[in-house]
Structure 1
């Protein structure tokens, strides 16, 4: 095992906090993605279309 010296508790707890924060961010992004997909589906059902689906390109 690696010897972390007198700061082992700080190092391990810091990594643990970062791991929890990253896991929460991943969960939040996944949840937001599902909400956005549902909102887009609702808008399309209501007749609102995306500009990207019009087929034409406005680039000159």
Structure 2
């Protein structure tokens, strides 16, 4: 009986790539939100 095994490494690497991209997107989104909040705070202080 001959069995063909599926190579799992492409799936593992794809999962890591998706996780890394999602993490970078979340960090970028959080940074933009922080900058907007800081800007609103400074504008409120000036009023």
What's the Cα RMSD here? 1.2
TM-score (norm 2): 0.82
Match of 1:34 in 2: 35
* Correspondence for 2:3: none
Local SS of the residue matching 1:6: coil
Equivalent pairs counted in the alignment come to: 42
Structure showing the higher helix proportion among its residues? 2
Q: Within 2, Cα distance between the matches of 1:6 and 1:21?
A: 25
Bigger relative contact order, structure 1 or 2, given CA contacts below 8 A and separation 6+?
Answer: 1
CA distance in 2, matches of 1:20, 1:45: 38
Return the alpha-carbon distance in structure 1 between the equivalents of residues 43 and 10 of structure 2. Answer: 49
Q: Which runs of 5+ in 2 are unaligned?
A: 1-5
